[in-house]
C-alpha cells in the first residue's frame, strides 16, 4: 500500500504514470491511456482537488455508471472534475 505520495507524474510520450515519495524515490509506475487528439491531456502542474471512492463518469460518446478510486485535478485553467485520474474499468 502506498502511504504517502508527494508527486504523480504522467509521461505522455511513454504513456506512464509515476508516483514519487517525499524523498523523491519512485514508489509506483503504471501504464496509462491519455487523451485523444480531439481532447488532449493538458500539460502543466496540477494538484488533486477531489477524490471519489466511486463516481459515474460520462463524456461525448461514453457513460460509465460507477468508476472507483477517482482523483480529479485542479490548477491552471481546469474546470472542476474536467481532468481525472482513474483506473480503466
Q: 28-74: per-residue pLDDT in tens? A: 999 999 988 888 999 999 999 999 999 998 887 889 999 999 999 99
What per-residue confidence (pLDDT) applies to 1? 46
Q: How many CB atoms lie within 10 A of CB 70?
A: 19
Cα-based distances in Å from 30 to 11, 41, 78, 80:
10, 17, 24, 25
Q: How far apart are CA 59 and CA 7, in angstroms?
A: 27
**Does the CA dihedral 72-10-44-26 come out positive or negative?**
positive
Rounded to two decimals, the pTM is 0.81
Amino acid at each position: 500500500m502506498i502511504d504517502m505520495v508527494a508527486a504523480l507524474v504522467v509521461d505522455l510520450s511513454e504513456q506512464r504514470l509515476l508516483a514519487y515519495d517525499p524523498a523523491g524515490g519512485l514508489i509506483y509506475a503504471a501504464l496509462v491511456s491519455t487523451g485523444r487528439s480531439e481532447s488532449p491531456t493538458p500539460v502543466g502542474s496540477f494538484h488533486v482537488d477531489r477524490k471519489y471512492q466511486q463516481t459515474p463518469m460520462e463524456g461525448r460518446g461514453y457513460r460509465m455508471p460507477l468508476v472507483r478510486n477517482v482523483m480529479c485535478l485542479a490548477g491552471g485553467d481546469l474546470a472542476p472534475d474536467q481532468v481525472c485520474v482513474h483506473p480503466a474499468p
